[in-house]
Amino acid sequence: MSRKISISIVLIVLLALLGFGAWTVLFKPSGLPPEGFARGNGRIEADLIDVSPRLAGRVAEIKVREGARVQPGDALAVMDTAELESRLMQAEAAVASAEAAVGMAAAQVAEAEAKLALARSEQARAETLSARDLLSPQDLDIRRTETQVAKAALAAARANLRAKQRGVDAEAAGRTEIAARIADSTLYAQGAGRVLYRLAQPGEIMGNGGKLLTLVSLEDVYMEFFLSATEAPRVRIGDEARIVPDIMPDTAVPAVVSFVSPQAQFTPKQVETVTERESLMFRVRVSIPAELIATRMEQVKTGVRGVAWVRLARDDGSLPNWPEGLTPPLLAEPDKPLTDQP
């Protein structure tokens, strides 16, 4: 009796296995995207920004911690400026000294102009007296020579004045450069982001280009994936796309096709289909709209894997409608879901 039961159990198991195999071959969905759509594996990424001082120096203060959100214009770090402040005072003194030299040169010009006016007056009287034979030719030549000397002295005085003025410009430029270095000693965020790494501490000496912080830019969040040569030409820049993160399989995030590679390349390892690996592929990037990122800044996480969906243009240029589950509002409110609930 027990032997019959054992045989029955074996038969049931075999039938179950055969049934599962038949279902897999005949009825199980192929896993391919619907007609008119393409998808690819990828992960949500954002550009990394290294924050470095323009000049070598000592770190005075780091104003942010790892994980902190920053907005454009937020101060991130401050470099020590004691030496630069001293040099700025010296530069200001040099500018004041150069301006005083300009004043002295201007006075010399005024003196030379007065001497030239006097020489010309003396020459005019000498010309009159010489015409009446009341002055010797030698004295007339002296007056003419004195006028020429006065002209040369005035020209020299004016050239000296211009040189002194250029000296003021040079000293002022040096002062401006030092002031710019002082201003550059405070490092500001150029865009919205989040602090990924804090690589220095106050008191450390940093060389030129030494990294203080690494930020994740939240102004351009995207996913890159690869499409075959038959699909990529049918994807247009600016078309709508969808991103479905693995951690939220019921959520479709709106995106826009921002890049389609103009050149085919070998497929990277993360493309898991053997058939796709054997062919050349085109890199495609879909970006999440900045408005959506701004409303959900706290929810943005990079490195999350998922699937990007795009629509393939038909021969007449039209696009298929998004199927249910991939039709979120393009700019969902922060307190509303990103996808329609089935």
Do 168 and 146 reside in the same domain of the chain?
A: yes
Domain of 139, in residue numbers: 82-184
Number of domains in the chain: 2
In DSSP notation, 53-101 reads -SS-EEEEEE---TT-EE-TT-EEEEE--HHHHHHHHHHHHHHHHHHHH
In a domain, 262, yes or no: no
pLDDT tens digit string along 134-147? 888 888 889 899 99
pLDDT at 67: 87
Q: Are residues 93 and 170 in the same domain?
A: yes
Together in a domain, 74 and 144? no
Residue 126 near residue 143 (C-beta atoms within 8 A):
yes
Q: Are residues 165 and 201 located together in one domain of the fold?
A: no
- The per-residue pLDDT for 295 is 75
Name the amino acid, one letter, at 19: G
Span between the terminal Cα atoms of the chain, in Å:
51
Question: Which whole-number Å values give the CA distances from 229 to 265, 266, 268, in the listed order?
Answer: 10, 11, 15
- pLDDT recorded at residue 296: 73
In Å, the largest CA–CA distance within the chain is 164
Q: Identify whether 167 is part of a domain.
A: yes
Instruction: Indicate if 134 and 67 belong to the same structural domain.
Output: no
Return the closest-CA partner of residue 282 out of 232, 341, 332: 232
Residue 170 falls inside a structural domain: yes
Does a structural domain hold residue 179? yes
70 domain residue, yes or no: yes
State how far the Cα of 30 lies from the Cα of 27, in Å rounded to an integer: 9
Q: Do 160 and 105 lie in a common domain?
A: yes
Residue 216 domain-assigned?
Answer: no
Q: Is 32 a member of any domain?
A: no
* 202 in the same domain as 112: no
**For the chain, which ranges sit under pLDDT 70?**
1-33, 266-279, 297, 325, 327-342
* Full-model pTM: 0.65
Query: Which runs of consecutive H residues, i.e. helices, occur in the chain?
Result: 2-26, 82-131, 137-184, 274-277, 290-295
pLDDT at 102: 94
**10 Å Cβ neighbour count for 211?**
14
